[in-house]
């Protein structure tokens, strides 16, 4: 510990001695050095904030392990250096798109990014103000840019910010470019960063791109007639203080919905997210104001987006007329069910169409695809992997939808990241279709369970911040690899998948077969004889390890069986958690 503290003090002193950091930053660093409690100093300087395969994400503040304009600057300089090498044949004609969300310092970081790219000879398309992540992805493709950056920490708490790096296809960077960019970023020192902007190379974009993006979103529509019949579907929308505030209502209106209400308190741009504990649509508390307004207005549907408007949340009425939050797995199930069923009905489903889900997403989706003869692909967590599958089949097969359990869905290929505006429009169409048949979204969910089997999913997040937390998470994964469970809550483990070694092991005889994936990943999965599935993975963006538990219950035959099946499943989840030492 003494050695680590000494290293942190030395690094902090280098910041104080350098002419490249401003006075306010140096004042904060001096306060850390003078403080009796050294924990803040250590956490701020014990490492350099890692530029990972998706970019940067961390707590804002001074220090090498923090999000600030200097860390953003070095990341951007490294990214620019790599692009100049990767596109050496056209280095005089390179362009990037830069966007940002509503978070504190997001505009500062976006302008810093734009300035550095321009100083390196790039044409920069900088959004005039906050915009949804999917629009940034769309703009990269639409403008033929070679790369892009979106400054956002997505749904993280207010203390965080982030930096998402995109490639020319509008997707977050993958191999070999991800490792190449990381290497370049790691070589950059603060002295090498070109902070002085060439404003002649920076072009502000906004309304025209909004229009083009909205036109692309309209092409997601499957059945315009059902929208015409149910155009007055009563919809309440919350922007969660973020980037969906203007575009989501506009997109809904462009589809033909004309009874849209917004949560006024959450339409205010606010990087402190003052109306919610956390701006995460996975947290029920974040939907409180929307449900309250929905009750007052007698709404059919309440929807919300996270701060950068790539994730969505859906709230519908249950059998008793009370609000029920549709979880991420159920969201994917509804989208896939409707896409398959209505494309079949309208004669739009083709043999070459394919769907994608992540490996931790419910297996009910796999059953839907199997029963309907539609190709479904499994990929790693993160929409860059869904985008990878789209790219692999570009021009040969048609992508028609894909999603993951963390409240993300992409219903078309004009964008290569999860897309809440497009998905909200499609869920409104699904609600209109259900209403057209005398059903609610809840009724539709029950229909899906009865047709394809009941499944209950539960995620456990074990948070371990700081260096000691990272060490503990690594030890947990090593333990599970060395001593895999044979029984999970009374269910026998039949198959073990280790995506780090890319080996699948049959528990009964120890037989191994290779797993076909594009690269290794630090993920473990256990499949039980009764259909239960448990996945374990450290988060790539937050200091936590995640356990994804999926439980089946074959007894659900009608909607009336749902409550009993749910109760049994929750009891089973508790037993599995106990088996894993999570309780």
Average pLDDT value for residue range 331-351: 97
Full-model pTM: 0.94
CATH 3.40.120.10 fits 47-205, yes or no: yes
Q: Which of 95, 118, 154, 491 is catalytic?
A: 154
What per-residue confidence (pLDDT) applies to 344? 96
Q: Is 154 a catalytic residue?
A: yes
Cis peptide before 334 (omega within 30 of 0): no
DSSP states along 360-384: TS-THHHHHHHHHT-EEEEE-SSHH
Q: 277-314: per-residue pLDDT in tens?
A: 999 988 899 999 999 999 999 999 999 999 999 999 99
Ranges of each domain in the chain: 1-36, 47-205, 213-222+229-452, 455-579
110, 98 contact by CB (below 8 A): yes
Residue 148 has pLDDT above 80, yes or no: yes
- Give φ, ψ of 246 to 5 degrees: -100, -45
Name the region of 349 (left: φ>0; alpha: ψ -120 to 50; beta: rest): beta
Q: Which superfamily does CATH assign the domain made up of 213-222+229-452 to?
A: Alpha-D-Glucose-1,6-Bisphosphate, subunit A, domain 3 (3.40.120.10)
What per-residue confidence (pLDDT) applies to 544? 87
Cα distance between residue 102 and residue 109, in whole Å = 12
Q: 446-482: per-residue pLDDT in tens?
A: 999 999 999 999 999 998 887 778 888 999 999 999 9
Cα distance between residue 336 and residue 374, in whole Å = 11
Same fold flag, 47-205 and 213-222+229-452: yes
What per-residue confidence (pLDDT) applies to 1? 60
Output the CA angle 110-264-407, nearest 5 degrees. Answer: 60
Average pLDDT value for residue range 327-350: 97
What per-residue confidence (pLDDT) applies to 52? 81
CATH topology of domain 455-579: TATA-Binding Protein (3.30.310)
CA 91 to chain centre: 32
State how beta strands 544-553 and 491-498 pair: unpaired
* Confidence class for position 540, pLDDT limits 50, 70, 90: low
Find, among 415, 465, 434, 456, the residue nearest to 335 by Cα: 434
What per-residue confidence (pLDDT) applies to 425? 98
Average pLDDT value for residue range 398-405: 97
What per-residue confidence (pLDDT) applies to 541? 62
């Amino acid at each position: 510990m003494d050695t680590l503290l000494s290293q942190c003090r030395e690094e902090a002193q280098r910041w104080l001695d350098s002419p490249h950091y401003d006075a306010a930053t140096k004042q904060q660093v001096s306060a850390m050095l003078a403080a009796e409690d050294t924990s803040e100093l250590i956490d701020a300087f014990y490492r350099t904030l890692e530029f990972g395969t998706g970019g940067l994400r961390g707590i804002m503040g001074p220090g090498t392990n923090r999000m600030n304009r200097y860390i953003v600057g070095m990341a951007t300089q490294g990214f620019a250096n790599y692009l100049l090498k990767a596109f050496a044949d056209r280095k005089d004609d390179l362009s990037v798109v830069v966007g940002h969300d509503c978070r504190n310092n997001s505009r500062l970081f976006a302008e810093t990014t734009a300035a550095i790219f321009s100083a390196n000879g790039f044409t920069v398309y900088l959004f005039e103000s906050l915009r949804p992540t999917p629009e940034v992805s769309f703009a990269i493709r639409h403008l033929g840019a070679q790369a892009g950056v979106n400054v956002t920490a997505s749904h993280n708490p207010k203390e965080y910010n982030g930096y998402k790096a995109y490639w020319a296809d509008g997707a977050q960077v993958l191999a070999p470019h991800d490792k190449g960019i990381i290497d370049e970023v790691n070589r950059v020192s603060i002295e090498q960063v070109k902070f002085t902007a060439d404003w002649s190379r920076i072009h502000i974009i906004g309304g025209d791109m909004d229009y083009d993006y909205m036109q692309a979103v309209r092409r997601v529509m499957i059945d315009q007639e059902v929208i015409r019949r149910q155009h007055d579907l009563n919809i309440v929308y919350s922007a969660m203080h973020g980037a969906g505030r203007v575009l989501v209502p506009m997109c809904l209106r462009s589809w033909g919905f004309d009874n849209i209400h917004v949560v006024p308190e959450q339409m205010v741009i606010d990087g402190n997210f003052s109306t919610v504990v956390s701006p995460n649509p996975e947290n029920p508390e974040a939907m409180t104001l929307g449900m309250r307004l929905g009750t007052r207005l007698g709404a059919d549907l309440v929807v919300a987006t996270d701060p950068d408007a790539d994730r969505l949340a859906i709230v519908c009425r249950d059998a008793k007329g009370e609000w029920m939050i549709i979880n991420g797995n159920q969201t994917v199930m509804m989208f896939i069910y409707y896409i398959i069923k209505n494309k079949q009905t309208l004669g739009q489903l083709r043999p070459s169409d394919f769907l994608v889900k992540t490996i931790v997403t419910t297996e009910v989706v796999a059953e839907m695809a199997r029963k309907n003869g539609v190709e479904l692909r499994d990929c790693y967590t993160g929409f860059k992997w869904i985008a990878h599958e789209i790219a692999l089949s570009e021009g040969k097969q048609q992508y028609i939808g894909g999603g993951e359990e963390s409240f993300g869905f992409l219903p078309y290929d004009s964008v290569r990241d999860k897309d809440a505006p497009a998905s909200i429009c499609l869920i409104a169409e699904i609600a209109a279709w259900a209403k057209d048949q005398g059903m609610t979204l809840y009724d539709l969910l029950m229909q899906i369970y009865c047709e394809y089997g009941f499944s209950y999913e539960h995620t456990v997040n074990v948070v371990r911040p700081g260096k000691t937390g990272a060490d503990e998470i690594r030890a947990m994964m090593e333990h599970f690899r060395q001593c895999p469970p044979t029984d999970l809550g009374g269910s026998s483990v039949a198959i073990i998948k280790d995506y780090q070694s890319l080996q699948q092991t049959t528990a009964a005889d120890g037989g191994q077969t290779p797993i076909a994936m594009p690269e290794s990943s630090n993920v473990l999965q256990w499949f039980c004889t009764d259909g239960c599935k448990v996945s374990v993975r450290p988060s790539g963006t937050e200091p936590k390890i995640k356990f994804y538990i999926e439980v089946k219950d074959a007894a659900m035959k009608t909607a009336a069986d749902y409550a009993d099946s749910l109760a049994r499943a929750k009891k089973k989840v508790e037993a599995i958690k106990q088996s894993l030492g999570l309780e």
